[in-house]
Structures are given as C-alpha cells and as structure tokens.
Amino acid sequence: MEPVRNYRRIAVEEAFLPPELADLYLRMLAEGAIDDPGFRSLWGFYGGDTGARTTGVLGRIQDLDAQRIADMDATGIDLQILSLTCPGVQIFDAAQACGLARSSNDLLAEAIARHPARFAGLAAIAPQDPAEAARELARGVQRLGLKGAIINSHTRDQYLDAQRNWEIFEAAESLDVPIYLHPNTPSRQLIAPLLDVGLEGAIFGFGVETGLHLLRLITSGVFDRFPKLRVVVGHLGEALPFWLFRIDFMHDRAVTGNRHPRLRRLQRAPSEYLRSNVYYTTSGMAWEPAIMFVHSVVGPDRLMYAMDYPYQFVPAEVAVTDGLPLSEEHLSMFYELNARRVFKLDEPRC
C-alpha cells in the first residue's frame, strides 16, 4: 500500500491524439501526401512499426477513458493535463488546421467532462492563422474550460518569434493562461545532420529544436513586449538551465559588439526571462541529479512533474521523483501546487 501523502500527483505533459487525426496522419503517410522529413520520421515509425512499444503507444495515445485511467491508477497519477501530441495540427494548411484544432478541443473537453477529477487540458491552436489561433485559444479557455495552449514548436518550419504570431502571445497574456512549448522534430533547416544519424527525435533533436525556439522568443523581445506571458517547457528546459551563465555572457558580448542585427539589448538578461517567464517540467527526465540542478537554478516554484505519457510510460520512474531529496513543502509544490497555480486548476473534488 502506498504511504499517505499530502499532495496529489499532477502530470502536466501527457499526450493524446484523436482517432480522426491518427487516421489522417497514417493516410497521408501511405499516400505520400506530405514531404516533411521530420513528420515522416516520427509518424512513419509510430504508424508503421508493429512492435509492442509502438503499438502500445498508438493505442494508449488515442484512449481518453478506461485504459488511460487504469494506467494512471497503476502509477499513482491523480490528474493528467492532456495536450495534442506533436505535430498536432501544425502540418496542415491554415483552414484545415483551424478546423482540426476546433474538433480536437471539443473532443478533449468532452473527455474532461466525463472525467473531471482525472483530466484537465490545453487547447490546440493553429499558428498558421494567428488571428484564428488567438480566437480558438479564447474559445478553449472561456467556453471549454481548457487551461492554456499547446504549441508543438515550429509550424511548417516557421517560428513564433516572427511578429505576425504575436497576437497569440497577446491572447495568452490577456487570458492569463500559459503556452506549453512542446517539442517537434526539427524543421527542414535543422534536421539534415540529425536525420542522417538517427538523432532527430527525442534522443536529441527534440531538445535542439525546442531550446532553439525558446531562445528565439527571448532574444526577439517577446517577453519585453508581453511581460506577464508564461511559457512552459518540458524535459527540464531542453538543457537551457545548464547554459544560463553562457547565454547571458555571450548575448551581452554579441549585443555590445553589434554582431548580428537580430541580437539587441533586452530589458533584462536572457537568464532572467528563463527564471521569471518560463516554467519547467520533468517530462522524460526521471534523473535525480538533473532534476535537482534545475530545481536549484530556477527555484522550487517553477518546476513541475510530468510523465510524458504514453511515450515514456515507465511506472518505476514515479519512484525516482518520489525519492527526490526535497522537503515535504517542496515535494508538494513539485507534484501539485505549482501546477495548480500555473494552470489555474480547480480544487480536487471529494
């Protein structure tokens, strides 16, 4: 029997995929209807491999009822914050992407209504049409009760630092909800040397892509323009917490030396945005030394638990985070209180 604990375990980066979208991915692959090398690598594997792991992931990721809840019960996860898996709707043309975002959000809201004590969710949006993305985020939050937005890194090789996308940030700041910047396989500009050696996925390419994306947001001045904007990143910040000193030092030198027209003086050092506007999760990183390092450099109020279900569904990893050398107060913040505050979650139902 599990010891009595004074917190609930909330897992904040847990993926789902509507059957409609899964079927569409697989049909596009079969018909050769998409030439994105990252998409072909990722979903060609999960859609084409017949091994136990891949078929297990494909089955679990589409389930929003009994199987998922049974897995949560088996691992002691009280609540999942669900989000549309990568690349989500971000590979389609704008009109199709917007329609799929709406239908995915409706499906997610229905699942949450069936299991309100076990699920919360983030709204899928289509950055292909920033104005419609902002409207869908508002609909998701205000009408469907969703808790923020999920954006799976680049959208058809385009990054969010371009000012045409900033109304998405304006909407998130106005609604006071976070944006979860989730990995995707690298953009065409970045993927070739990774793909050649099989490093384009979660082993390395995901972190390269998402860490780059977050740094682009910081250096473009997004957080100066939207100082209350909150961004959540997984995998312990895609290694950026390790680089805080060097990022600050080299950014200052580059700006002082006019090294590049896109690098300009910000209101604060880059590391300050990483400590004040960004929150971090442990998804896929059940490793005590790395968790404790990030905990020490960003602070106990900015680190949250995530399992990365179903891609990294390893029940034994819960014991790793249960055993972290944290005070009872900090363990409660890590598992529950930070997530409840960042995502404005309702109090648990009795």
The mean pLDDT of 313-330, rounded to a whole number, is 96
Select which of 176, 308, 322, 346 is catalytic.
308
Quick one: fold of 10-342? TIM Barrel (3.20.20)
Angle made by CA atoms 293, 299, 301, in degrees to the nearest 5: 130
- pLDDT at position 53, please? 80
Question: What average pLDDT does the structure give for the chain?
Answer: 96
Rounded to two decimals, what is the model's pTM? Answer: 0.97
Say yes or no to pLDDT of 1 above 80: no
Give the pLDDT band of residue 350 (cuts 50, 70, 90): very low
pLDDT of 140-166, one tens digit each? 999 999 999 999 999 999 999 999 999
Say yes or no to pLDDT of 220 above 80: yes
- Name 128's Cβ contacts closer than 8 Å, sequence gap at least 6: 90, 92, 93, 94, 97, 98, 155, 156
> Is there a catalytic annotation at residue 129?
no
Domain boundary assignment for the chain: 10-342
Structural contact between residues 108 and 121, judged by C-beta atoms closer than 8 angstroms: yes
